[in-house]
Amino acid sequence: MDKGILFVQESSSFLINAIISALEKEGFVCGTAPYDVDKIANVVDKYNCLFINVEKDTAFHHSPELVYLKDEACFNDKKCMIMGIPNDIEDCLEILTDTSIIAKFERPINTRDVVDSITETFEDVVEKVNRRTILVVDDSGTFLHAIRTWLDPVYKVIMVNSATNAISYLATNTPDLILLDYEMPVCSGPKLLEMIRSDPSNANIPVIFLTGKGDRESVKSVLSLRPQGYLLKTITRPNMLKALEDFFKKYDEEHENDQPFDALDVLSGYLS
């Protein structure tokens, strides 16, 4: 993975310039852009990481730019880092959400600590490139954060909070698995699954529902849409990781021989 970082900031600062200079000596390719959607869009494709430098009232003055940066993180898999004082960071995270941020730097902080942390974070990201990708679709930010914490050490995790965002992501990406909230508002999990199955380019992506309803009748009610199974939201982290490990093992075995695949028997032990 190329080590390219775009620094988005209100104006040039001594600290950012020092960080850029130190990173370039470590082999990073760095660029800068102001808080302007058009100017960011003109250069963002050259970089795989966005470093957001926040000042006081950044969230208030630059909401459109922060929304754009969040979309880049969600839909184009850009890695985001953020630096500022704690209150300003929290204001920005109301828009960006924690799920789009891979590193936070709270001022006051010195250049070496930032550079060391960025280098370490990039090493972790590079190590994850060849991992299986799981798209998690859920309207709860709290649940998304928890699932990312659970799965991130093992899988490449993409988080979206609505059916609309899921469809946008799937327009240009093909994850190895979709974990889908059953009871989402506006567009429910079953409805989204129906949309996914109706698109030939996405029809074969395996989908597992996340739900509070683990009874067999609930499972049977959506079998016509061919989900790969259910996992209860009350599942523990060890059981979820074991369920996914078992799922992918079974899926690989069946897929290799082009056999019809039904993971309900694999997942049934994790439904209660």
Tell me the Cα Rg of the chain: 20
Q: What is the C-alpha to C-alpha distance for residues 147 and 157, in angstroms, rounded to an integer?
A: 9
Q: Which residues on neighbouring strands pair with residue 179, listed in sequence order? A: 136, 208
Residues of the chain with CATH 3.40.50.2300: 4-128, 133-270
pLDDT for the residue numbered 241: 92
Residue 242: which of 255, 227, 231 has the closest Cα?
A: 231
Q: 3-class DSSP state for residue 77?
A: coil
pLDDT for the residue numbered 97: 78
pLDDT band at 222 (very low <50, low <70, confident <90, very high): low
Q: What is the C-alpha to C-alpha distance for residues 8 and 65, in angstroms, rounded to an integer?
A: 10
DSSP annotation of 48 reads S
With beta carbons less than 8 A apart as the criterion, state whether 143 and 233 touch: yes
Q: Mean pLDDT lowest for which of 44-58, 135-149, 181-195, 203-217? A: 203-217
pLDDT for the residue numbered 1: 45
Secondary-structure percent of the chain, ordered helix, strand, coil, rounded to 5:
50, 20, 30
Q: Which amino acid is at 120?
A: E
Q: What percent of the chain has pLDDT over 90?
A: 49
Q: What is the C-alpha to C-alpha distance for residues 105 and 113, in angstroms, rounded to an integer?
A: 9
Supply the pTM of this predicted model: 0.54
pLDDT for the residue numbered 28: 93
pLDDT band at 218 (very low <50, low <70, confident <90, very high): low
**What is 4-128's CATH number?**
3.40.50.2300
**What is 133-270's CATH number?**
3.40.50.2300
DSSP annotation of 234 reads T
